[in-house]
Amino acid sequence: MILINGTLTDEASARIDATDRGLLLGDGLFETVRSHAGVPFRLGAHLARLATGAKRLSIRLPLPPDQISGAITDLLHANQLQRAEAAIRVTLTRGPGPRGLAIPAESQPALLVQAVPYTPRQKPNVTAVVVEVRRNEASPTAQLKSLSYLDNVLAAQEAKSRGADDALMLNSRGRLACGARANLFLVLEETLYTPPLTEGALPGITRAIVLELAGAAKLRTRQSPVFPDDLMRASEVFLTNSLEGLLPVSEIGGKKIGVGEAGPVTRSLMEAYAGLAANRS
């Protein structure tokens, strides 16, 4: 089953309007949320980010966040995921519109929610490569989890074709922005670095949690530009996203990072993060 504007619908018969601007122009947003035993993790933060993005794009949310949240609980039950690990995807589009780019004065936005069983990766670490496709930090869409996601699709595909698990994306200035489906962190000279949002990084929910946890642990943290050379000098590198949490990177472009497995900073942050999820907090 999936939810369309709050109504449970059989996925096989669920259809989107052929004139929907989400389909025709990538004009919309999405969120990916991990659910543990029927409880979506940090759903409030995801729906707040969705609402912020919708405001930036002047798309009206067809349901208020608390009703979306309630409908997600219904969906998890309908799909028998109330005791399972699940991946939830919330998709908001501007809805149908006439031909052309101009944003229609009146619109009927569409909100789609999908929930499927989630199986974590079996590997404790991932390999990565720096890909050719670059992140456009000079567009407002770099800060939005928008439906115009083809750059990320191509980045992930390029990594796969080069034999790596994940892609690292440079921005237009040749500095690191993020992964194809993750934010990027590295430990260098006992400091935790992550590219600032202005470098083209998405304001990741897990990114924000990790920065909080690092602050609470009195780790020195810096949101400052990260250069490709920094990756090679780093003692630890990890990726973050809402489905996978923290993902240690064991090698980049064939070169081992640190000892080739999660280092002490990564491990302590992973433990703290797992604690949050276990406490559903």
Min separation Cβ 21 and its own copies, Å = 8
Question: Quick check: 150 binds its own copies (CB under 8 A)?
Answer: yes
Q: Cβ 262 to its own copies, closest distance in Å?
A: 23
Considering the complex, what minimum distance in angstroms separates the CB of residue 116 from its own copies?
6
Q: Taking Cα atoms as reference points, which of 167, 184, 173, 171 lies closest to residue 136? A: 171
> Nearer Cβ to its own copies, position 100 or 218?
100
CA 123, 171, 208: angle at the middle one, nearest 5? 60
Is 136 a residue that touches its own copies (CB under 8 A)? yes
Give strand pairing partners of 226.
176
Task: Provide, rounded to whole angstroms, the least separation between the CB of residue 17 and its own copies.
Answer: 7
Which residues partner with 120 through β-bridges?
A: none
Check the CA dihedral 75-81-83-87 and report its sign: negative
Q: How many CA atoms lie within 13 A of 178 on its CB side?
A: 27
- The whole-angstrom separation of Cα 174 and Cα 134 is 8
Binds its own copies (CB under 8 A): choice among 33, 128, 130, 180 = 180
Q: Which of residues 181-210 bind its own copies (CB under 8 A)?
A: 181
Q: Which of 44, 139, 224, 254 binds its own copies (CB under 8 A)?
A: 139
- Of the CA atoms within 13 Å of residue 138, those in its CB half-sphere come to 3
**Interacting residues with its own copies (CB under 8 A):** 2, 4, 11, 14-27, 30, 57, 87, 89, 91, 93, 98-103, 112, 114, 116, 132-136, 138-141, 144, 146-154, 156-157, 160, 172-173, 180-181
